[in-house]
Amino acid sequence: MSFLSGGSDAGGLLAAAAAVALVDWWAVGTGHRRVERVAKPATMALLVAVAAVAGDLDGAARAALVVGAAMGLVGDVALLGEGESAFMAGLGAFAVGHLSYAVAAVLIDVDPIWAVPGLVFIGALLGFRFVGRTLPGARRHGGPLLAGAVVVYAVVISAMVVSAWATGCWLAALGAMLFAVSDWVLGYQRFVGPLPGRRLSVMIPYHVGQAMLIVGLATA
């Protein structure tokens, strides 16, 4: 399938999203929160528009893809807030988004053989400090309820990554993995401790991963 569909300006929207994402990364890296509060949701809003017009998907797959991107926007806005309630709202929105991407992948077409690399990647990601450090950290931070929510979220992320791999589209697969890495870093930094790059190590793979996943699924 071609990237541009029906004369749409998906390429221009993607370029605009990349430009605004660079502004957001600058704002995150330099601590300009007022700029970030505009640039962060604006980046994802442009990617929602890309999801709506890129490629040549049928109605159900297109709707699932747009919902996935839109939930990313909702989650971004929620995480601009402070406190546990904002974090949980963001977690819920992103969980729905991951599930929507997984549904889009299944509706597009999947081959179980291609899911194997995704399973290997998820096993490695969950095995590297998640079970041993992030999950206990979440329990210490918010008790069994928060730990349970983190486990459910990890399962949802896993479904998204495996389904993206199962489409056989390398762009969607790489995007899904970057998205999962971003979530892994966010969880580790929130419940265990800082990592090199701090918030930039969350935002860069997040934006790049979302863009690759959306374009990959739209054109798979």
Within a domain: residue 78? yes
Q: At what angle do helices 59-79 and 200-219 cross, to 10 degrees?
A: 170
User: CA 146, 147, 149, 151: dihedral to nearest 10 degrees?
Assistant: 170
How many helices and strands in the chain, by DSSP H and E? 8, 0
Greater model confidence, 64 or 135: 64
Q: Model pTM?
A: 0.93
Within a domain: residue 158? yes
Number of independent structural domains in the chain: 1
pLDDT at residue 1 above 70? no
Within a domain: residue 192? yes
Within a domain: residue 80? yes
Condensed to tens digits (0 to 9), the pLDDT of residues 156-184 reads 999 999 999 999 999 999 999 999 999 99
Within a domain: residue 190? yes
Buried b (16+ CB within 10 A) or exposed e, 110-138: beeebbebbeebbeebbeeebeeebbebb
Within a domain: residue 43? yes
The whole-number pLDDT of residue 42 equals 98
The whole-number pLDDT of residue 157 equals 95
The whole-number pLDDT of residue 5 equals 52
Match 């963001």 to its residue by tokens: 90
- Residue numbers of the domain that contains 52: 10-219
Condensed to tens digits (0 to 9), the pLDDT of residues 113-149 reads 999 999 999 988 888 778 788 888 889 988 888 889 8
Within a domain: residue 2? no
Total residues found in the chain within this entry: 220
